[in-house]
Amino acid sequence: MAAALWSLVLLGALCGLGRAMSREEKSKLRNQVVEMFDHAYQNYMDHAYPADELMPLTCRGRVRGLEPSRGDVDDALGKFSLTLIDTLDTLVLLNKTTEFDVAVRRVLTDVRLDNDIVVSVFETNIRVLGGLLGGHSMAVMLRDGGQHMQWYQDELLHMAKDLGLRLLPAFNTSSGLPYPRVNLKFGVRGPETRTGIETDTCTACAGTMILEFAALSRFTGDPVFEAHARRALDFLWEKRQRHSNLVGTTINIHSGEWVRRDSGVGAGIDSYYEYLLKAYILLGDDLFLQRFNIHYASIMKYISQPPLLLDVHIHKPLLPARTWMDALLAFFPGLQVLKGDIRPAIETHEMLYQVTKKHNFLPEAFTTDFRVHWAQHPLRPEFAESTYFLYKATGDPYYLEAGRTILDNLNRFARVPCGFAAMKDVRTGSHEDRMDSFFLAEMFKYLFLLFADAEDLTFDVEDYIFTTEAHLLPLSLSTAPHSSSIPSNRTSKEELDDSNFDWTCPNTRLLFPDPAFPRKLRDPIRSAVDKSCPRPPPYREPGMGHPPLRAQDFMANNPEHLELLRRMGVSLIHLKDGRVQLVQHATQAVSAVAAEDGVRFMQEMMELSSQQQKEQLPPRAIQIVSHPFFGRVVLTAGPAQFGLDLSKSSTGVRGFATVAEPYSGCSEITNAEYVRGHIALLQRGQCMFAEKARHIQKAGAIGGIVIDDNEGSSSDTAPLFQMAGDGRSTDDIPMPLLFLFYKEGNILLEALKEYREVEVLLSDKARDRGVDEPGTEEDCLTEATTPTSFEPIGQSQASTSEPDQLTQSQQDVSSVEQDTSPAEEAQLLEDEDEEEDDGEDDGEDEDDGDGEDDGDAASPGEDGTDAHLAPPRGERDSEDREEPAGDSDSGGQQVDELLADWREDLEAFQQMEKDEL
């Protein structure tokens, strides 16, 4: 039945929808996919192997411990040639059997799995164990074909079992949920492991083991792996919230208590749902489908707001948990195709497609009105995955065009001489020195299959299931010998009321009697995103005669708004320095519903503060446009408070780079004949930034780039700098000056050393090989979504403003002190000599740019929730903030729980990569 379900799901509609793509066009695009894969794979093998990943900007391998730590992201790296293992079955799918043979031999010869290194259990399972099992499946298929891999004797399977045994110690918990990390050599117990002290893991991390572990058990005949994965799934099922049938994002692996109770289909939970359905397809156990159906009903009831998918709280599922979505939920339309629920899959995919067309890539997070919330894009494949599944389900050539868009954007914006670089900021087009292994493992599989016909494949892909990392496991495993004694926490029939769900997939002809039906679903969504970046209707609380006040609409001098705040238990306090403080006491609200509205209003204040702080200072871009880069390398740069504002320049400043002498730029330039008409490179330190600018400007430079002198600094690991003036007027500096960290600056200096003549473009965002992009979509890229800005202060939710500055609902107000900016985006620096070893302090004003503000931690106050409204930049004094003492508040337990729920979401996105890369 599992195989039949899989085949039925992937039957394309017999009727064509829209303009058909010719076989020649599909063939051309398919060949383009192969060429792009070759470019990425060969550069990894030439410049990075045997390292885990390629650093495409510096053309070298990323070796853990030799590069600056990126935190939890590096837990995927285990010194086991990650990218090569992750790519094995991609080579076979792309008909590269010779390269596959060579790659398998290299894995067997070079890769060690007993390294003394702490790795993510989740990432190692889906990437390395999954890669070994997918490679084994392909090797067996080729060997049985009689032409290739005749020498193969299950060596990859032996390695997979070795790795599985090294992961098993992580499951040694009372709950059966695995520790998030394990030492490949020493396990989780003992001081030499340097792990085993964690208490929390994400739901996806614990619930995304069953496919790989069950496959390992059935390949080897050892039931221990499948048993542990099933036990973890059983525990998560038991801990679901019984009223909503939803699961939280983070759980305590010992007690089973939910640490984060927000629930969605994106980061931290996504592949848990995916593996329930796919475990049924692969293993044929009805239990998994029954559980998935129950979860899916709740997702569609509470989380799905077509075309949006918004997180809610598991205990209060009618209460939205945030106003933005993360990019990982882009897999969900593909999962809905497997479920057979095509209509919402079409709607959500269309929303994602339009956001992609707005920003070239899916931002790592975006708001409900489709603006950038977090601008990074690490070349994630989930949108391509859903595009492929929707094309297979509908046969609509519209999805072939969506695939063409993905290809074009990768080539135009992410391709660099040494591979493909992740986008550091989709608004500027700047790059990050990163090409994750999943890019080769997943992206090229789905794109190749999208444009491939049956005769282009050497095997029937419908005989396999895709894991979450797109590794191929054969459906024949459902009949493989396995222990019938594997314990399973069977669910009672009372809990399994899934009578509303079909157990077979629908006929697409019945779904779409009118070939234009999918287009009719897509057009309103396209219009909504394209025309005005609209917000969804305000949330209406049941029983309320009017929608509650939203933070983005609040005006401090509007009597009607003040009355609404009073009803929600929120009061305004006017401070002596002109600021307005908002304080919320739940017990002063007119009702429990109004109190919940007040908590939501205060939460929105903080979310909007965080968003505006990030939006108010977007980074600038330095694009290398000369041969052989041709605009493909884009470096993230920080702006100055003075000089040309590149965000207001349609063309930017373009010129050849040259190193100024003296390099510090702190005295008259001695090589003025070379600097004249060029963009001067300078080193940070010894004098003020404005002084450097004046010296190179006097020498005739058309722009300047200051390179950090702190060896090892990088925009990947440090917040961006904004360079400050020198305390006097800088109107005499009309040229632009940008700041590069050491790592990015070194890329430019190395290019200059190798090619001598290096032309760069200084701009607000990267241009497409010198072609200016239209600016008609700017409003949807960076427009602030609220009239005011809010900044948490102390143990309060806070920001400040003059009351009369809040009278216009569309007025943007800065949320930072006159001489500081948020740590997440930028700090204003005065470029005095900041060497730590000299200990000198000449007394001039300066900001060390450490990005820390001791008063800005957002945490619940003991006597209520409060917020300050922020005054405009330049009108706020820099004295310490004054906070009145609040009255003791003993609000009801219901509101306290709600407040705790909202607090948890404050750090939700910062923890996203900890939950799942």
The catalytic residue among 67, 89, 101, 123 is 123
CA distance 684 to 689: 8
CA distance 283 to 403: 31
Q: Assign 753 to helix, strand or coil.
A: helix
Find, among 158, 249, 146, the residue nearest to 204 by Cα: 249
CA distance 118 to 192: 10
Token digits for 782?
A: 């960076």
Say whether 783 is catalytic: no
CA distance 674 to 697: 13
Cα–Cα separations (whole angstroms), residue 538 to 535, 549, 553, 569 = 8, 9, 11, 20
The catalytic residue among 364, 597, 615, 708 is 364
**DSSP for residue 482:** -
**DSSP for residue 122:** H
| Contact (Cβ atoms closer than 8 angstroms) between residue 299 and residue 273 | yes
User: DSSP letters along 420-471, please?
Assistant: E-EEEETTTTEEES-B-HHIIIIIHHHHHHHH--GGG-SS-GGGEEE-TT--
CA distance 601 to 582: 11
Prior bond of 307 cis (ω within 30°)? yes
The catalytic residue among 262, 382, 469, 832 is 382
The catalytic residue among 200, 270, 274, 425 is 270
Largest CA distance in the chain: 85
Distance of CA 114 to the CA centre of its chain: 31
Which amino acid, residue 692?
Answer: K
Secondary-structure breakdown of the chain: helix, strand, coil percentages, each rounded to the nearest 5: 40, 15, 45
| Contact (Cβ atoms closer than 8 angstroms) between residue 717 and residue 741 | no
Find tokens 């060497």 and name the residue: 835
How many CA atoms does the CB half-sphere of 563 hold within 13 Å?
Answer: 3
User: DSSP letters along 862-902, please?
Assistant: TT-EEEEEPPPTTSS--SPP--PPPPP----HHHHHHHHHH
CA distance 139 to 159: 14
Find, among 768, 771, 776, 54, the residue nearest to 414 by Cα: 768
Distance of CA 359 to the CA centre of its chain: 14
How many CA atoms does the CB half-sphere of 894 hold within 13 Å?
Answer: 10
Find, among 404, 381, 403, the residue nearest to 392 by Cα: 403
Token digits for 706?
A: 């200051």
Say whether 433 is catalytic: no
Find, among 726, 749, 723, 750, the residue nearest to 737 by Cα: 723
Say whether 123 is catalytic: yes
- Could you tell me the end-to-end alpha-carbon distance of the chain, in angstroms, rounded to an integer? 34
Phi-psi region of 629 (alpha: psi -120 to 50; beta: other; left: phi over 0): alpha
E strand segments, 607-646: 620-624, 633-637
H-only helix segments in 194-285? 203-207, 210-220, 224-238, 270-283
Prior bond of 542 cis (ω within 30°)? no
How many CA atoms does the CB half-sphere of 835 hold within 13 Å?
Answer: 8
Find, among 503, 685, 728, the residue nearest to 1 by Cα: 503
H-only helix segments in 720-820? 742-755, 778-782
CA distance 618 to 825: 8
As annotated, the active-site residues are: 123, 270, 364, 382
